[in-house]
A and B are shown apart, each in its own frame.
Chain A
């Protein structure tokens, strides 16, 4: 078997164009995919739970609206999926039916109303998200930020108007209602008038009452300025977001981008090489000569998968070493990288062997490999909630049949300690390796030329 391996490496070395394409093409594809995944995903689905009592109205600066108005405004930006409980919202987020969940608590209207008072309580909304990958995490954060910025802007305008009224009261004076009691605020203008008259016509020590009035105004003015502080805070960010993430740890965007690039590279190198190499055995008419007693079909298959693992591993490692010049990689996790890349390479090699054995021609094998791989890559990068739940489940099923997604998860986990678990993707890949190797072995039964 080692002689066959040596032969294949010799053949590859003498095909510089093929070798160049094997390296350049995956890089180009990786860049394209990178751009594609950074694009907007359209109108996302968001679970919406409104716990605010129906008859509660929000009154901000004289403008009144109810919770239905709030829903209508929010649902312009996203596709709202109404849920009846917090548990239902969490379940939908976990399953990927929705991109996230927005929960308006029962005291939201009361707290928003308080913003226009002298005793404001900051309103809070709850957001539940499933940041299964950093691209989705960014998408979710962008969407939620946009939604809340719009709501905050509306509230901020109302609160600012109230703040302006308080400042007018301090300047001009007037009646102030606070905690059910009414106060007469003198105002800066009146204070000035009083002081002027006191200074001109009254000798020192007299008119104590007028001086008392000035002292009282000073106290009230101080209190009003104290109230301005929380008021100004609420103008900046009236609604506070309480975010809850329901999935496991999410890797950094850098790690994820590197993992995508590495997986795409590994996939194209291994898939094309193994599919082409196996089909070439038939095109060179060597398959019959080899398998009539020199090498068994199973041994030939193992050799091709081994070739894919060796070359795929080397190219991917070379690419990671190149990336090290620009980004920092955790080389202390090298053993985990090796495991992830070897399993991924074996998965792609087995799939390539199945394609090569099924098509039996190098050109057909290469074409089929592209036709299968490219859509699978794009489908695998669609985050849950970005499309309808039915379609997403179909996408999940389809992508689970190909080694790209589990390899991406395995390499992500291996690259970043904050990434997902490595065990699940490796088991998934093991199942795919077995299945594709069996398919390839079956296809080799009709591989001979007569």
Chain B
């Protein structure tokens, strides 16, 4: 049985994903599951394979080996850098992608997304004039246009100030609360601990850990008894060191 399995319905099942770039294995037999409405944080050192994993799940690149299955519905993808046309307005960006998604009534979808992103008042502004936080909200809104069962977020809070970050996570938590499975890759360990119900630690394309933040802390505590009073980031660094990273 794969790790992460529970009695609730699996929204995503990943099995044996392998991806090589030349001689370098970006992913080397990656397997895991994610439940409906779950928030799964993907963390690990730079170049460990987080973005490659999300890109494969998003269908942007193809794996050399392995497969994954989405139980029902679409996969929404929000790339690390906002994938928006900066010289189009907020509304025009949403309308374009709604049309490309094949929505029968794109105007209704656009209207809903403007409300969801809280940008109705700024719908006529060109994206290049918006802050990074607002751009990221549109970026996520476009990722949600297909009403996906699984939403992939690649470094969603990079470049955002604390207030924007808080609003972003409020938005994401609301989605998860409505049943969307959210898988997010991040370098911010505190953020992963705070919002991730479960963590997938990846290094050198291999899965090192799959469990809750508390389980990771306990795993480190077996070799470092003083872990209880320390912040999660230093615990995570210890964990990586224990695994040779």
Residues of A within 8 A of B (CB): 3-4, 7, 10-11, 14-15, 284-286, 288-295, 448-450
Contacts and interface: CB of A to CB of B under 8 A. Distances in A.
Nearest to B93: A7
Contacts of B77: 288-289, 292
A294 B101 contact: yes
Contact of B85 (A7, A288, A291, A295): A7
B87 A450 contact: no
Contacts, number: 62
A209 to B, nearest CB: 111
B97 interface: yes
Nearest to B80: A285
A448 B92 contact: no
Contact of A289 (B52, B79, B88, B126): B79
Place the interface of chain B in its size category.
20 to 34
B40 to A, nearest CB: 20
Contacts of A449: 79, 81
8 closest residue pairs by CB, A with B:
A285-B83, A289-B83, A294-B100, A292-B59, A288-B60, A3-B99, A11-B87, A285-B81
Contacts of A291: 60
Contact of A450 (B55, B96, B97, B100): B55
A259 B90 CA distance: 43
Nearest to B126: A14
A450 B52 contact: yes
B61 A448 contact: yes
B79 A294 contact: no
Contacts of B60: 288, 291-292, 448, 450
Nearest to A2: B99
Most buried by B among A3, A4, A289, A448: A289
A290 B81 CA distance: 14
Contacts of B126: 14
B64 to A, nearest CB: 14
B114 interface: no
Given A292-B58, A292-B59, A450-B60, A284 B85 contact: yes
B97 A294 contact: yes
Contacts of A7: 85, 88, 92, 96
Contacts of A14: 87, 126
B89 to A, nearest CB: 9
